[in-house]
Chain A
Amino acid sequence: MTDGRVPIDILDPGDGGLTRGGVIGHLAIDDAWLVDPVSGRSGRGSIVIEDGRITEIEWAPASASGPSPSVVVAPSFIDIRAHIREPGAEEAESFASGLEAAAHGGFGFVASMADTRPVVDRPEVVQRVLAAGAASGSPVRTRPYAAVTLGREGTNLAGFASLAAAGVVGFSDLPAATTDAAMLRAALSEAGGLGMPIVIQPDEPSLTAGAEANEGLPSTILGLRGASAAAEVSAVSRAVAVLRQVSAEVPPDVRPHLHIAHLSAAGSLDPVRAARAEGLRVTCDVAAHHLALHDGWLGGDRRWSWAAASSPWAGAQAGDPAPYHPGTRLDPPLRGPEDAIALIAALEDGTIDAIASDHAPALAVDVQRPFGEAVAGMSSLETTLGLVLETVDSGRLSLVRAMRALSLGPWRALDGGRIELPEPSLRVGAEANLVIFDRADHWIVDDVMLRSRGRNTPLLGRSLPGRVLLTIARGRLAWQDPDLD
């Protein structure tokens, strides 16, 4: 601790400190704000960790006076979707850099996507990915998805059973759309038999061919090819219809599971709600940038979505940040502020299960190109918490809901128990998987702080709330803020 600002008392009986990767010998945190997603409880309290396990939790009486502490202790986050570029493009992100970025972002688990080179479509590749994760030395857990189809080519179903046995979390061809409804039907049926999810990117390619941006006022003004929200909404409806059919035709002990990745359009929420009401197993996630950012960012608007909702971006003003920042090119694209507001409400009401990082690091050479040629995606493991806390600070999302969507929501959507992931709760006796961050302490997104190799983010130079002080995964120290010695 450098300046006494952080009310955190770190004691390690061994060598008087904490070592990265080492088991937490003793750590007591007095008077923090505890959040337990499982019970839904949050409040002042203290927590003690001994030898990598939670040994004591003391909740302060509700009558406790004084301002709420800004340091939050919650289960470390579970990322349901991140692109780690190993194998094949380690220069863009390896497991070593990616998992350190994850730890800096408060994540204790990362599900990595299958779009590597080679594609994760055979058990040997799964083994290779798991070995790379283990070799990184990070205590952050990681497991890959496998592709739905061999080579992610959309033609032949991958061998699900052997991939499941090898330890994948689910099946996904992301970022490609699973466009063929017959293939989706077969995949849902096959994966359902194994109790595993099919993760889709809802898209209707005929409406998004060549798209560079959301179809809306910014794309009209900036002259960018638009992807209409109807592409996503119609694909969600179609996927739900296929799921309904599959669910009706499989044996009663099989429950096909469709997970819809990164919803971005308000109109997608209704078919999801309807499917849930029917009892179909549909889960979904949203990326933090689709909550806080909006398509005005493409034009240089740097307001959060809730601030832009009443007066959306309608053209540049002299002195604005430059338009066409390649870090704002995303797939699905940033939508209008009103979409972001609807997504936040859907998180608060439980329609959306999880917040994903959708981490997509890319090399500068692939990003520093004319907007429509830049690789889509954003390096986001380290900025997800900051954007979520900005959303919480806007008053539209409760902190408990936010923490739940970053841990328990994805844990349930992934059937965490099946993949040997401890339930994200504050419970005495449990292995310590915790994030400790200071809501009130801002940090600057820059080269000094970022651990990801990806610099493709429009948040570079921005100050974000929620400095992560410590991340603990598997009872070990995964991240320690450089200012804490």
Chain B
Amino acid sequence: MTDATGAPAPTGWQHRHLLDVDILTRDELRTVLDLAGTMADRRADTGTSRPLSGRTVATLFAEPSTRTRVSFELAARALGGDPVSLDASGSSLAKGESLIDTVRTLEALGAGMLVVRHPRSGAPQLASEHFGGPVLNAGDGWHAHPTQALLDLFTLRQVLGDARLATAKVCIVGDVLHSRVARSNIWALTCWGIDVWLTGPTVFLRGFEAWARALPAGRRLTVTGDFEAGIRDSAAVMALRVQRERLEGAGAPSEAAYAARWGLTEERLRRHAPDSIVMHPGPVNLGVELPPDVAAGSRSVITRQVANGVPVRMAAMALLAGAHA
């Protein structure tokens, strides 16, 4: 196969689906990110080769999302594919049709690639067992959001550079327990060699200390209930979206208490992580996990994360299309 630039595609990509980044090696991560770099550079071009040309890419979103779906659809279109979307509220899924039936129907209608978002962890795995083509996980329950982790790593490389990233500490702040973004980033960032820290209300860190102890040798993950220790000297701080319904229940702090204790203010950053950039998977609850001035300030790379989503998803789709041609 050739990629969108007409250059030969990297060889050796063996994965049929992208359900998580957990089983990707560092070389495989580099393959995706390097290809995404090429895609970003050449996206403005018309391109001579379109690996998804003539292929229908179905996006099945059983959970509301705008940016992720649009990002996948733009990526599919940029590769010559034909995106069709099925969203939860209007779909047969809402009428009780099983996920498997929906997936089979999409395949029968001609979809050659499937992008799935689902509120249940493991749903894309199930979809992949009943769909003939590649399946990309666009977020499942609390489990995984592989393209988000890839675009986060892509952004970190782009902003910090490989040399600085090699010794960098990155801190993830907030509701780690319910976060698929955090889980996929733990796999991707620790695989890359980054020193990853997790901090937030202790009810949201449940179980992660055990995970840190069980990670393969050489991977670094530290869990702390001390916010300042967590962000201290970080090269990047990633704030997670705090869902309002998770606060004020089961021992979690109220929104105001959360903002006061865990809000990523400029004052805190200046004191403990003066050189840090600020990331967020979006959409931001302004004034809760991030004050408006930080979200829109010079440290913030949030807009860049969103922009990078398209070439990263293009790279993932191109690799899967090649592996599955």
Contacts and interface: CB of A to CB of B under 8 A. Distances in A.
Contacts of B118: 370
B126 interface: yes
A220 B121 contact: no
B262 interface: no
B252 to A, nearest CB: 15
Interface in B221-247: none
A221 B208 CA distance: 9
B240 to A, nearest CB: 14
Contact of A371 (B22, B121, B207, B208): B121
Nearest to B141: A223
Interface stretch (B64-72, B209-217, B290-298): B209-217
B121 A223 contact: yes
B12 to A, nearest CB: 13
Contacts, number: 84
Contacts of A318: 23
B306 interface: no
B143 A222 contact: yes
B169 interface: no
A323 B122 contact: yes
B204 interface: no
Contacts of A216: 207, 210
Dominant SS at the A interface? loop
B125 interface: yes
A93 interface: no
A318 B183 CA distance: 18
Interface string A296-336: 00000000000000001011111000111000000000000
B141 A372 contact: yes
B98 A368 contact: yes
A185 B139 CA distance: 46
A163 to B, nearest CB: 37
A315 B120 contact: no
A215 B211 CA distance: 12
A324 B121 contact: yes
Interface string B108-136: 00000000001011110110010000000
B22 A315 contact: yes
A322 B135 CA distance: 14
B180 interface: yes
Contacts of A322: 125, 129
A322 B140 CA distance: 16
A227 to B, nearest CB: 13
Contacts of B120: 370-373
A316 B121 contact: no
B100 interface: yes
Interface in A362-384: 365, 368-373
Interface string A198-226: 00000000000000100111011111111
B100 to A, nearest CB: 6
Contacts of A372: 120-122, 141
Interface in A342-371: 365, 368-371
A370 B122 contact: yes
A193 to B, nearest CB: 41
A19 to B, nearest CB: 42
B13 to A, nearest CB: 13
Contact of B126 (A212, A215, A312, A368): A368
A222 B22 CA distance: 11
B144 interface: yes
Contact of A217 (B99, B126, B183, B211): B211
B23 A370 contact: no
A223 B126 contact: no
Interface residues of A, number: 28
B125 A220 contact: no
A223 B142 contact: yes
A370 B206 CA distance: 24
A212 B23 contact: no
Contacts of A369: 98-100, 126
Contacts of B143: 222-224
Given A315-B22, A322-B129, A223 B180 contact: yes
Contacts of A222: 121-122, 143
Given A368-B100, A370-B120, A220 B211 contact: yes
Interface string B183-216: 1000100000000000000000011101100111
B23 A324 contact: no
A225 B143 CA distance: 10
A221 B99 contact: no
A215 B177 CA distance: 12
Contacts of A221: 22, 183, 211
A223 B183 CA distance: 8
Contacts of B216: 314-315
Interface string B79-109: 0000000000000000000111000000000
B74 to A, nearest CB: 27
Nearest to A206: B250
A470 to B, nearest CB: 38
A60 to B, nearest CB: 50
A322 B20 CA distance: 12
Given A223-B180, A372-B120, A365 B98 contact: yes
Contact of A226 (B207, B208, B214): B207
B144 A317 contact: no
Nearest to A366: B98
Nearest to A220: B207
A324 B98 contact: no
B99 A370 contact: yes
A220 to B, nearest CB: 4
B17 to A, nearest CB: 10
B2 to A, nearest CB: 26
A288 B242 CA distance: 41
B208 A220 contact: yes
Contacts of A217: 207, 210-211, 214
A213 to B, nearest CB: 9
Contact of A215 (B100, B121, B183, B207): B207
A324 B180 contact: no
A97 B206 CA distance: 44
Contact of A312 (B121, B206, B214, B215): B214
A212 B121 contact: yes
Interface of B: 20, 22-23, 98-100, 118, 120-123, 125-126, 129, 140-144, 180, 183, 187, 206-208, 210-211, 214-216
23 contacts: A215-B206, A215-B207, A220-B208, A220-B210, A221-B22, A222-B121, A223-B121, A223-B141, A223-B143, A314-B211, A314-B214, A316-B20, A317-B23, A323-B122, A323-B125, A324-B125, A324-B126, A365-B98, A368-B126, A369-B100, A370-B118, A370-B123, A372-B141
Given A221-B211, A370-B126, 6 more contacts: A217-B207, A220-B206, A315-B214, A316-B23, A324-B125, A370-B123
Shortest beta-carbon contacts, A-B, top 8: A223-B143, A324-B122, A223-B142, A370-B120, A220-B207, A314-B214, A370-B123, A223-B121
